[in-house]
Amino acid sequence: MASPDFSPAPIHKKSLSDEIVFQIKEMIADGRLKPDQKLPTEQELCKAFSVGRTTVREALMALTALGLVKRQKHNSYVTDVAEHPLREFYLQLMIDHYDVSQLYEARLMLEGLVARLACRRASDSQLRQLEELNRRMQSDDVEEYIKADIAYHNLIMLAAGNRVIYEMYQVVRLLLKKSQREIAQQEEVRATSRAQHTEILEALKKRDGDTAMSLMNRHIRSMIQLRKKFVGEDGRDPAGADV
């Protein structure tokens, strides 16, 4: 039987599984769901949220992927997020209803400097992988482009050789996933991004840190402006950030 602490609100958003994930994150963040506490069964979750079993399973898979829930046989349990500060950071941002402009501002503060660092530390193998990802971004398949784009930026972060920054960046990118998917549908966005990624790659191959940093910052600012064009404003303008 469901715990009295498990008290979901009616669902109004379009993506039902995303809303379930969000509500369970809130319950974990504010202490209604405790570490190692057993979640209601799939059948109980279906009844509580008034959704089908497929939707519930999608939500549980997402929570498991985030490390917030662990599955044991047919049961699901809350993990101890206190042991994982970055997961707690992610939860807090979700609860505080961050705005996308702040995420882009964080990218401006991080990625240019990281690109410069990657010029010094990237291995030849990593540069070859970046070339392959850059080639994959030329695809007309939007999903292939998005996957390659994410992997490209992640690899530069990894090549910089700073695990702390890399893990922080994963939170930012995860929260930006929806925004990226929105603007990537536009051919102008993909064409601009492809050209800029190629230029950044050339600077990395030449180990030209200052140019790589400048080009990366220009790329992110371009994405900010294109988001404004196709999606609209997201609060204050990070394009004017002093980085």
Confidence at residue 38, expressed as pLDDT on a 0 to 100 scale = 94
Structural domains in the chain, CATH included, are 16-82 (1.10.10.10), 98-232 (1.20.120.530)
Contact 39, 57 (CB under 8 A): no
- Per-residue model confidence as pLDDT tens digits over 147-159: 999 999 999 999 9
Residue 97 is predicted with a pLDDT of: 60
Residue 13 confidence (pLDDT): 45
Tens digit of each residue's pLDDT (9 = 90 or more) over 87-115: 656 666 655 566 788 889 999 999 999 99
Give the lowest-confidence range in 99-113, 119-133, 191-205.
99-113
Q: What is the pLDDT of residue 18?
A: 84
The DSSP annotation for the chain comes to ---TT--PPPP-SS-HHHHHHHHHHHHHHTTSS-TTPBPPPHHHHHHHHT--HHHHHHHHHHHHHTTSEEEETTEEEE--GGG-HHHHHHHHHHHTT--HHHHHHHHHHHHHHHHHHHHHH--HHHHHHHHHHHHHTT-S-HHHHHHHHHHHHHHHHHHTT-HHHHHHHHHHHHHTHHHHHHHHTSHHHHHHHHHHHHHHHHHHHTT-HHHHHHHHHHHHHHHHHHHHHHT---SS-GGG---
At 171 the pLDDT is: 80
Single pTM value for the model: 0.64
Residue 67: predicted pLDDT: 76
User: What percentage of residues in the chain have a pLDDT greater than 70?
Assistant: 82
Average pLDDT, the chain: 85
pLDDT band at 239 (very low <50, low <70, confident <90, very high): very low
Between these two residues, 79 and 41, which has the higher pLDDT value? 41
